[in-house]
């Protein structure tokens, strides 16, 4: 992981958008879902990440309905392709790219976890040398994943909106609401990236983790399940813990994590399709 990476956090405070009181109830529904996503804690646990992804999927379901309203389409059709709309379209395209990358990482992680779980189930894995080979294969794939996540986090940190204006017209309020939706996507993607690979500085890289394990210190309580598994595998690989004694518990943890990752991959696929639909709807409105 790049040394200068900081802990991933929300790219910014989502602005509250207040559309005219005569607006459709779907507008209020979108705003309420934005508030719900904004209030979620950033603990990198599998359950919370699944909850955030589900919330983002629910948000885009509402946004798609909102984009089909005649009033929304009429308002967007009045927008000129100025800085605000160009910025929004550019970031929506980047969100699609990042969502696609994260889906690939989830798929790769699920595949490697499946291989690890299947291998650990085989009786031959009780043999120390065989187990070490299996662990090495998984940890090697994790190094590749960390590089991808590192680059993704750098991209996410650059995606703050450059043009969010105070509401003075329905058109600007509508644009701000869409910007808020895009920022919610960025925030959730950051949380997912952090869950898949928690950023570390120079003083806390893999060599430092090994030293911590050698001194028999406890695992980081604020690390997510993916990082916890990495650290446990490093402990087994380095001989700090007995593989045979830990085999059963390790199998259970790998199986549970694989199931969680599989669920995240499925929801992420749905979010990707929602992002495509929303972008197409916005473009259609702007081009009318």
Domain holding 256, by residue range, is: 25-286
DSSP labels, 165-179: ----SHHHHHHHHHH
DSSP labels, 195-244: HHS----GGGSHHHHHHHHHTTPPPPTTS-HHHHHHHHHHHHHTTSS-HH
pLDDT, tens only, 183-196:
899 989 999 998 99
Considering its fold, how many domains does the chain have in total?
A: 1
Is there a domain that residue 263 lies in? yes
pLDDT for 275 = 96
Is there a domain that residue 65 lies in? yes
Is there a domain that residue 18 lies in? no
Give the mean pLDDT of 90-101. Answer: 92
288: burial class by Cβ within 10 Å (0-12, 13-18, 19+)?
A: exposed
Is there a domain that residue 196 lies in? yes
Is there a domain that residue 5 lies in? no
Is there a domain that residue 169 lies in? yes
pLDDT for 19 = 44
Is there a domain that residue 104 lies in? yes
pLDDT for 268 = 97
Claim: this prediction has a pTM higher than 0.85: no
Is there a domain that residue 20 lies in? no
What would the two tokens of residue 232 be? 């446990």
């Amino acid at each position: 992981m790049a040394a200068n990476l900081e802990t991933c956090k929300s790219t910014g405070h989502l602005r509250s958008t207040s559309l005219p009181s005569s607006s459709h109830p779907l507008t209020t529904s979108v705003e309420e879902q934005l508030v719900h996503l904004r209030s979620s804690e950033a603990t990198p646990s599998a359950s919370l990440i699944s909850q955030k992804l589900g919330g983002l999927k629910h948000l885009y379901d509402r946004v798609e309905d909102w984009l089909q309203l005649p009033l929304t389409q009429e308002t967007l059709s009045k927008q000129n392709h100025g800085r605000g709309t160009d910025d929004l379209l550019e970031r929506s395209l980047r969100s699609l790219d990042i969502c696609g990358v994260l889906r690939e990482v989830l798929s790769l992680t699920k595949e490697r976890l499946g291989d690890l779980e299947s291998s650990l189930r085989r009786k031959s894995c009780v043999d120390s040398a065989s187990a070490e080979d299996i662990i090495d294969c998984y940890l090697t794939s994790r190094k590749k994943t960390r590089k991808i996540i590192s680059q993704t986090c750098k991209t996410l940190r650059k995606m703050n909106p450059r043009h969010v204006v105070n509401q003075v017209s329905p058109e600007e309020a509508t644009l701000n609401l869409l910007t808020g939706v895009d920022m919610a996507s960025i925030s959730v993607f950051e949380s997912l990236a952090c869950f898949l690979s928690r950023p570390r500085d120079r003083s806390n890289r893999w060599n430092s983790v090994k030293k911590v394990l050698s001194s028999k210190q406890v695992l980081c309580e604020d690390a997510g399940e993916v990082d916890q598994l990495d650290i446990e595998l490093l402990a087994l690989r380095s001989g700090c813990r007995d593989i045979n004694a830990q085999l059963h518990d390790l199998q259970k943890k790998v199986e549970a994590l694989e199931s969680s990752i599989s669920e995240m991959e499925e929801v992420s696929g749905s979010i990707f399709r929602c992002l495509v639909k929303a972008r197409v709807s916005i473009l259609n409105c702007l081009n009318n």
